[in-house]
Structures are given as C-alpha cells and as structure tokens.
Amino acid sequence: MLSRRNFLTAAVGVAAATGLAACAKEDDGSSGSGSGGSKALVLGFSQVGSESGWRSANTDSVKAAAKEAGYTLKFSDAQQKQENQISAIRSYITQGVDVIAFSPVVVTGWDAVLKEAKAKKIPVVLTDRSVETSDESLYVTLVGSDFTEEGRRAGKILEKVIAKAGLKGQVKIAQLEGTTGAAPAIERAKGFKEVMDADHADDWKIVVSQTGDFTRAGGKQVMAAFLQSNPDVNVLFAHNDDMAIGAIQSIEAAGKKPGKDILIVSIDGVKDGFVAMSEGKINAIVECNPLLGPQLMEVVQKVKDGKPVERWIKTKEGDFMQDQAAAALPTRKY
C-alpha cells in the first residue's frame, strides 16, 4: 500500500506526466536497442525548445548519439517554458530513468525539482546551459560552451570588423539579447561588456538592447523597433544567428545594407548564418557548437557507472570573419 508521502509523490508524478503531455511535446519512444539482451541505459532528456537552427542541430545530435550508444532516450521539448521542463523532469523521476539530462531554459528556479531527483538518487547532467543553485551537489556536471568567453570573443572580433570596414567615430551598438534569464543571454552580454569596459569605454556605446528570444521572428521585430528609435545605430551584436537573420530582414526593409551600413556580429555558426555571411550581410560569427550529443552520451555512461567526471566539460569552438565564409560553408556540419 502507498504511504501518504509516496502517494503524494506518485500523484504529483501522474499530474506532472499528464500536464507534460498537455503542454509539451514528449517523444517517449526508444531510440536505443532497449528490447532484448541487457537492459539499455534509460536517459530522460528535457530540451529547451526548437527556437533556433542551433537548437534543431543540438536535438538531432542528442537523438543520433543516444541511438548510436544504444540508450533508450525519453525526449521532451519544453517549448521554451520552464514549467514544461520541470514537469518533464518530474515525469522522468517518476519513471525512474537512470540519468536525467537537460538544457535549462533559464538559470534560476531549479532547486526544488533537482532536490527531488537527488532524493530518488537519479543523477542530473546539465547540457548546453548552466543553472544557479544553492547546492552544487544537485547536478553532476555541465557539458557545454563558455558563454562569457563567447561574449568576449564577439567583442574582440568586432574590433577586427570595425577596423576592416574603416568605421570611424562613435560606435553605436544595438544588442539583440537571447531569452531573458537564460545563461547564454546573461553571459554573452557580460563577456561583451567586459571588452567594451576594458578597451572601448570612450568609443563604443550600447545605445539599445532588448531580447529577441533567440528567434528569427523576435530578431526581426525588435530590430524594426530599434531602427525606429535609434536610426543611427551602426553595429548590431546579436546573441545568435537566427536573431541576426531576422534583423537583416528589417534592416533591408528600412532601406539599409546589412554588413555595410550596419556591421553585424552574431554567435552560433549555423549554416544559414554562414550563408548570410557569404552574402556579405553578417561580418563575423563566433561559433557555438551544438553537436554535444556524443560527448553527452559518454558522460552519461560514466555517471551511470559511478566514474568521476569533470565539473564542466567545455566545448571547443572557432571564430569566423566574412572572408572565410564561402570556403567554410560547404564543410559546416549544422
């Protein structure tokens, strides 16, 4: 018979699972060789959403790597809502998966659900994005990029872009931020500002900055508003390629030339970003690699086996100027 506590836990789990089905897309099939033979490792993965080309490539990488490893993958798309991710994680806890991995949509608000996973002895691996937590033992490791460094790299590459374009005088920057409260939005802005404060306190200024939620539609809409309120911006720093691509549409609609009248630096390095760069519309891209699946599966296996793992497994990435785009485009994997 269920004790009151277990009953409540189960009830919460059922409610969570029901809610999850209602408000997020869950793909509960086995991608691994779960049938017959030894029991396949069961991985519950909660994805942020499908807001960008980067995210689609990341999802494909995770699914392919889980299949390759022979794991049973329970995958859920949270549609960029934290409550959906919390429901998915609760559902994985109720189902008793071996390991939970997730890419947190925002940094705060995870302690309660992570404590529930810990109480059930289910290890949690963060992938792509980090969380802020009062208890570091609530997750084992993070597999993902150094977003602060990406912001610094964007600042440094903008120096080269400005020099190459021969832009003189005040640099008036519009910043398209990622999802409010998300690690890449906070940390990329921070890294970029560090470069500004250290080396360009007098000649660079962020004149307008707002979230475009990492989407093309967001980038397009917010850039149109920026051009109305600040028609003299001469640089755009977009926290991802998709927002830059959306912004390019608004810049062109305003009768300006992206990459010339407004210099553009963005982050990610997805194929469409490289296409825009090879057309001269983006001046430089700081790469953020989404192909985290194979590394993630390796780590998940180690965690399941109780082997030690590094606290942060960082992704290796490069920077690209416009004149490298055409040559690099055919070799881009995402």
Query: Of these, 116, 128, 177, 319, which contacts ligand AHR (CB under 6 A)?
Result: 128
Q: Cite the beta strand spans of 153-229 per DSSP E.
A: 171-177, 204-211
Subset of residues 208 to 267 that bind ligand AHR, contact rule: CB under 6 A: 214, 240, 242, 267
From CA 25, how far away is CA 88, in angstroms rounded?
Answer: 10
Q: Cite the beta strand spans of the chain per DSSP E.
A: 25-27, 42-47, 72-77, 99-102, 124-127, 141-144, 171-177, 204-211, 235-238, 263-268, 284-287, 312-314, 319-321
Q: How far is CA 86 from CA 89, 113, 299, in A?
A: 5, 7, 22
Does 288 engage in binding with ligand AHR (CB under 6 A)?
A: yes
Q: CB of residue 193 vs ligand AHR: minimum separation in angstroms?
A: 18
Which x/- pattern over 18-57 shows residues binding ligand AHR (rule: CB under 6 A)? ---------------------------------xx-xx--
Query: Of these, 13, 104, 155, 184, which contacts ligand AHR (CB under 6 A)?
Result: 184
From CA 302, how far away is CA 308, in angstroms rounded?
Answer: 7
Does 297 engage in binding with ligand AHR (CB under 6 A)?
A: no
Contact 53, 271 (CB under 8 A): yes
Q: CB of residue 187 vs ligand AHR: minimum separation in angstroms?
A: 10
Identify which of residues 90 and 129 has a Cβ nearer to ligand AHR in the complex: 129
Does 319 engage in binding with ligand AHR (CB under 6 A)?
A: no
Identify which of residues 55 and 281 has a Cβ nearer to ligand AHR in the complex: 55
Does 116 engage in binding with ligand AHR (CB under 6 A)?
A: no
Q: How far is CA 114 from CA 47, 132, 177, in A?
A: 16, 12, 27
Neighbours of 29 (CB within 10 A): 11
Which x/- pattern over 56-95 shows residues binding ligand AHR (rule: CB under 6 A)? ----------------------------------------
Contact 160, 145 (CB under 8 A): no
Does 320 engage in binding with ligand AHR (CB under 6 A)?
A: no
From CA 259, how far away is CA 282, in angstroms rounded?
Answer: 5
Q: Which residues bind ligand AHR (CB under 6 A)?
A: 51-52, 54-55, 128-129, 184, 214, 240, 242, 267-268, 288
